[in-house]
Structure 1
Amino acid sequence: MSRIHVTTTINNDETDYLCETDETLLDVLRDHLDLTGSKEGCGSGDCGACTVVVDGRLVCSCLMLAAEAEGRTIETIEGMAGGDALHPLQQKFLEHAALQCGICTPGILVAAKNLLERNPNPSEEEVRYWLAGNLCRCTGYDKIIRAVMDTAANTRGAA
């Protein structure tokens, strides 16, 4: 197989990597770039554990070829927090105990952040709809939804 040179922006850093034509973005993030926050839960785009944001849109990185990232902007869970401080969503997930095993958590956090950037005042129904592509086998969804709703309420209160 031939290797492809890709230049992309990941978490606001210009990044170059070489990949095989059949490697997924998830494989490159985890195996070549040591960005191991995104998880492989299913390998078929059904669980959302590998969710990243590509050019502002949610993408299952297990379904995207790494070569397709050429010239794109990618945000992963590693880019969510600023420095030593947690992102408000991450803090609320801790406060609401909205995680257990951690496999789904990165994808849910990335998706929830994307929702709140688009709609800072979502209804519970909108949060549930937006996160429907992210499966959690451990917690159920009540604490996750409460954490997202609490983050939205606090963000509105701070504005």
Structure 2
Amino acid sequence: MLQLTVNGIVHQVDVEDDMPLLWVLRDEIGLNGPKYGCGVAACGACTVHVGGVAVRSCQTLVSDVDGPVMTIEGLGTPDEMHAVQAAWLEHQVAQCGYCQGGQMMQAADLLTQNPDPTDADIDEAMSGNLCRCGTYPRIRAAVKSAARSMRGA
């Protein structure tokens, strides 16, 4: 039996140590924000934060999780969206939406590390998150808006 704290809630899960975190989140805990995209950490649809750092949950073994896990469901609160979520709505980033949870989790990680990213910083940080719909210009604009909002500008 493993204990995981996900989005501030402690969960006891009875799974094999080598189960990917993605499947624990989706199949055992019942969260569907992190998506299965490629299974090899190449698309970013499964991005979550572990211990405050963005990771690909499809390639993170549950036994390797060291710290609290946050998924897109835990990024904001029911009363207040995270600045990244608000910027995504403002810029109408999502088309099909499949990748957007992972995109937002990666963007939130970037803004934690770099509160005033350049276009190049954004492109580099977001390069591992693929969008089939090609909303990259809107993603960049939303990241910039979220950065301004988080800085109080």
User: Which interval holds the TM-score relative to the shorter structure?
Assistant: over 0.9
The equivalent of 1:97 in structure 2 is 92
- Following superposition, the deviation at residue 86 of structure 1 comes to 1.7
1:155 aligned residue: 150
Paired position in structure 1 for 2:79? 84
Deviates more, 1:9-18 or 1:119-128: 9-18
Aligned to 2:10: 14
What's the counterpart of residue 109 of structure 2?
114
**What do the CA deviations read for 1:6-41 (whole angstroms, capped 9, x no partner)?**
112211222221112442110110011011100011
Cα contact 1:99–1:139 (8 A) shared by 2: no
Larger Rg: 1
C-alpha distance in 1 between matches for 2:105 and 2:142: 13
Q: 1:65 is matched with which residue: 61, 65, 86?
A: 61
Counterpart CA distance in 2 for 1:84 and 1:36 is 20
Q: CA deviation at 1:92?
A: 1.1
Deviation digits for residues 73-111 of structure 1 (CA, Å, limit 9, x no counterpart): 111111101123221211111111111111110011001
In structure 1, C-alpha distance between the alignment counterparts of 2:14 and 2:63, rounded to whole Å: 9
Consecutive unaligned residues in structure 2, runs of 5 or more: none
Q: Partners of 2:97 and 2:16 in 1: how far apart?
A: 29
1:132 aligns with 2:127: yes
Partner amino acid for 2:99?
Answer: C
Query: 129, 132, 136: which is aligned to 1:141?
Result: 136
| 1:57, distance to aligned residue in structure 2 (A) | 2.1
- Mapping of 1:43-58 within 5 angstroms? 43-58=39-54
1:14 counterpart letter in structure 2: V
Compute the TM-score of the two structures, normalised by the length of structure 1: 0.89
**TM-score, length basis structure 2:** 0.93
2:34 is equivalent to residue 38 of structure 1:
yes
Q: Which runs of 5+ in 1 are unaligned?
A: none
Distance across 2 between alignment mates of 1:75 and 1:127: 21
How many equivalent pairs are there?
153
CA distance in 1, matches of 2:58, 2:37: 9
The letter of the residue matching 2:7 is: N
The CA distance in 1 between the partners of 2:111 and 2:148, in whole Å, is 11
